[in-house]
Structure 1
Amino acid sequence: MKYILAIDGGSQSTKLIIFDTHGNIICEESEPLRPMSLPKVGWVEHPDDDLWTSLVTASQRLMERFEGDPSDIVGAGLCSIRFDRVILKKDGTLAQPALSWMDSRVSVPYVHDNPEAAYVTSTNGYLTRRLTGECRDTAATYQGQWPIDTDTWEWSNDGKVMSHYNIPREMLFDLVMPGEILGYLTAEAASILHLPKGLPIVATSNDKAVESLGTGTIDYENGMISLGTYICGAVHGESNPKDCRNYWVNFACMPHKYLYESNGIRRGMWLISWFKELLGEEVRMHARELGIGPEQYLETLAADVAPGSDGLMIIPEWLAPAGQPYKKGIMLGFDVRHGAGHIYRAIMESIAMTMKNRMDEMCAELGITLKQITVSGGGSNSNLFMQIFADVFGVPAVRNVVNGAAAVGAAICVAVAAGIYPDFGTAAKEMVRVKDITDPIPAHAGLYKKINEGIYSSLTSVTDGLMKRAYDIFDGN
């Protein structure tokens, strides 16, 4: 028996899963990340060394539970949060707290204002340095404010580009491709993590691309919906188109392939957690009485509400984009019928309809039609949410056995690097398994189509002007 370790670092937790070579989970552990530090308006930082310490804690617990032979682990696939920026000292330790993707500073070119800074890298690069001692990183994590040539997957050799992003080549890590070995676990890291010394650490990609690979949606007719702190939709493609209007091109988790990503929802699934916490102890009390979790309790309330939530609609913009600071979350259409179940269902419907519209915009520009969608992330555990997605999109919604697809994608990369499977396509077919498929209910699909086309898709064209005026009053100063 051979095993594969997947390291899946997200915005809310670090998860480690040991798989067999057919994608079955053998053992798993996770450790929550601490709440983000907010030292200034627009600054969002990971406190202390949370990215590393959460990995250490999860790994130690995982290996305490693992009943196999650690020497039979053939490699570890490393996947962490994209768009973070990590500034390191010469010895590879943090020169300052790691900047979250939500931090306003990562949306602009790097400013060299820390005299201790020797390297500028991603979370993947930082963890690679801690694990292996190597200054190497996957090329496929560098989108956004980085001097990367997206055609060659190499650092740009254009002096103007390098000057614009303000990161000298000597401050950047060397690049490798997904499915290649970044380095080998050092004796020091192995001792701390309770893992075998010399374990190969394998490059993956940015987290959404790894997740897309892990859903098995590796052709353009099958779309992925990623239900995370940032919610987006994606399809795979072969080319690297420029000047896209309704989507953007990301590196895929396969060498020289691309992931086309729709526009998404910032703080997407966070919104569900926010509402649950907002209701507080009353929800927890009722959930305890029924022997279920708070979210399951709210889902039982929402399941009793008719599609359309009796006219309650939500614009899920609880975190404004950097270039549109006036964007705000909105709930509208309240009357005396509405309660917690209506709001909970309306949140789900708003996420599904927003992503339907964003995916439709992307697919129209690409000239493709989706035959089905695969929903990834913890939200796919909800049968109600899966039905809403199927009804809103009007196509079957697929749920895989392992809904934490980023871990599966990381394991696929290891399987390719170790020669267990000859290529990514073969590995995905062998390691990704469908749990169930939810078909749309025709009557519900027709209603959602009427709501979306008649009202919902044009809501922000009406509310944006109001929000701009409100921003000038409440936040402009």
Structure 2
Amino acid sequence: MTEKDLLLSIDNGTQSLKALVFDACGNLLAKEQVLFTPYFSDRPGWAEQDPFVFWSALCRACQGLLADSGIEKSRLAGVSVTTQRGTVVNLDKEGQPLRPAILWLDQRKCHGQPPLGGAWGLLFKVARLTDTLTYFQSEVEASWIARNQPDVWSRTHKFLLLSGYLNYRLTGRYVDSVGSQVGYLPFDYKRLRWARSWDWKWRCVPVRPAQLPQLVPPGQILGAVSRTASRETGIPEGLPVVAAAADKACEVIGSGSLDPSVGCLSYGTTATVNITHRRYIEPIPLLPAYPSAIPGFHAVEVQVFRGFWMVNWFKEEFGLPEQLAAEKTGVAPEDLFENLIEDVPPGSLGLMLQPFWTPGIRKPGPEAKGAVIGFGDIHTRAHLYRSILEGLAYALREGKERIEQRSKIPICSLRVSGGGSQSDLAMQLTADVFGLPTTRPHLYETSGLGAAIDSAVGLGLHPDFETAVAAMTHTGDRFEPDASNHKLYDALYRKVYKRMYRRLQPLYQKIREITGYPE
């Protein structure tokens, strides 16, 4: 009998979907990637996508992988799904989408929601969190749909995250992982389950319990591949589907970060700093610790919205020479940016960037804008590019310090994953800004590997998560901080960067009042 020793991971990102096959040692044996347009916008600030685009990409990726890689289907032990966070799908009673999915990048607001009254309203007022609650209410996608498309909302049988939609298409069951629940939903992040009936979230989100999927912890089987899904994807019928977690949570364990003293940075479209912790710790009041890819644990996280998306922004706005050169040489424009800044010294000759291109809820607040200060006639676009990388590292260092303050555990080393981790310059810069040894994992596909770790434990290929992470994750290149560079960065961070937001916040508020942007 053929040994079932391989794990299939589905990793649905913002710009592509990957089908990945790993063995029980964490080796990547096969990969198939399908690119798609991230979203379309009928109006400025909207970001939507036909859910069928995601499912079609999954089918094409799996069919291509299983047809061309030489992987024997009979060796597959199970499949797991990890996806982008906060993307929502409305389904009717037949399981068909009622409207395009609203992506996590979407910036529409639903203003004018009734204030929370009663004891909950008083509690938020006393805690001085009323503005934060109002912001939360304006961000709820379900509220926008219910108000602006009441016919769609009245016919919504299930309201799912993208992970729930793909798991439904694979199994025919409305079931999803606890580890994937990151979004504006009535979820109890502390207890890792749907909120209790009296929780304030049910009064701020127009979702009914019956519209939500059943939840199972990461590492447990949530169903099996249906006959229909097998025919469309090529995945064997009956193959167990194991609950994984959202992409960032999977990246953390896929990077080998289980101890809260090991910080995990994700240099992706959204840049984040994470630790895995058994305790529930809110790094910023009312901003929850998200579910970990390990059952019962939490991913304590601080985000920088539009993180390494800013590299793409720079490419589109200032990188025409590199784009033209890339077309001639076949080298990625991002690789040419490395050459662009090789002569720019650490600190960018005093050019300091605050990477608040997209505002947040608190620290920075909804009034925040990006800022660049310190310009002089010596500065070029090369200095601006380096200041982007440095500004992101400063913001993540600030997030690290918030996490340490709340967890009471110092972060002593860093693991970095995501697209930005492929840059040696970005890795060394990170080590220098933080003053900590910084390591990239042995492979780039840490999100898919994290999902495979969940499968490995759930299917018994490893007895527990500690064993699975030790066996399946390995460190790659290690970057030690340069003492002189760290001294310079530390002074700029403490004496300039950390004071920028406080000094500029009143001006941001005035800009918002005068221009109405951001809303």
The two structures have a TM-score, normalised by structure 2, of: 0.87
* Residue aligning to 1:108: 140
Equivalent residue for 2:477, pick from 420, 433, 436: 436
Amino acid at match of 1:411: A
* Residue aligning to 1:472: 513
* Residue aligning to 1:18: 21
Q: Tell me how large the CA RMSD over aligned residues is.
A: 2.1
Correspondence 1:81 to 2:121: no
Structure 2 contact 82–451 (Cα < 8 Å) conserved: yes
Aligned ranges for residues 199-348 of structure 1 at < 5 Å? 199-241=239-281, 244-245=284-285, 248-262=288-302, 264-287=303-326, 292-321=331-360, 324-348=365-389
Alpha-carbon distance change, 331 to 425 in structure 1, aligned in 2, over 3 angstroms: same
Structure 1 contact 107–322 (Cα < 8 Å) conserved: no
Q: Provide the identity percentage.
A: 31
Structure 1 runs of 4+ off > 6 angstroms?
none
Structure 1 contact 34–47 (Cα < 8 Å) conserved: no
Correspondence 1:451 to 2:454: no
Alpha-carbon distance change, 151 to 401 in structure 1, aligned in 2, over 3 angstroms: same
Structure 2 contact 276–292 (Cα < 8 Å) conserved: yes
Cα distance between partner residues in 1 of 2:480 and 2:513? 45
Correspondence 1:424 to 2:465: yes
The count of residues paired between Structure 1 and Structure 2 equals: 476
Structure 2 unaligned segments of length 5 or more: list them: 110-137
Amino acid at match of 1:214: G
Correspondence 1:357 to 2:398: yes
Structure 1 unaligned segments of length 5 or more: list them: none
Structure 1 contact 251–257 (Cα < 8 Å) conserved: yes
Correspondence 1:185 to 2:217: no
* Residue aligning to 1:407: 448
Correspondence 1:381 to 2:422: yes
Cα distance between partner residues in 1 of 2:327 and 2:204? 55
Cα distance between partner residues in 1 of 2:225 and 2:33? 20
Deviations 1:63-96 (A, max 9, x none): 2322121111111111112222211111222111
Shift of 1:267: 1.1
Deviations 1:24-57 (A, max 9, x none): 1111121223132223354321245222122222
Equivalent residue for 2:432, pick from 373, 391, 399: 391
Correspondence 1:170 to 2:173: no
Of stretches 328-337 and 348-357 in structure 1, the one that deviates more from structure 2 is 328-337
Cα distance between partner residues in 2 of 1:385 and 1:280? 18
Cα distance between partner residues in 2 of 1:359 and 1:415? 30
Shift of 1:292: 2.8
The two structures have a TM-score, normalised by structure 1, of: 0.94
Structure 2 contact 13–83 (Cα < 8 Å) conserved: yes
Which secondary structure does the structure 1 equivalent of 2:478 belong to? strand
Of stretches 288-297 and 15-24 in structure 1, the one that deviates more from structure 2 is 288-297
Cα distance between partner residues in 2 of 1:434 and 1:99? 36
Alpha-carbon distance change, 290 to 311 in structure 1, aligned in 2, over 3 angstroms: farther
Alpha-carbon distance change, 461 to 49 in structure 1, aligned in 2, over 3 angstroms: same
Alpha-carbon distance change, 53 to 109 in structure 1, aligned in 2, over 3 angstroms: closer
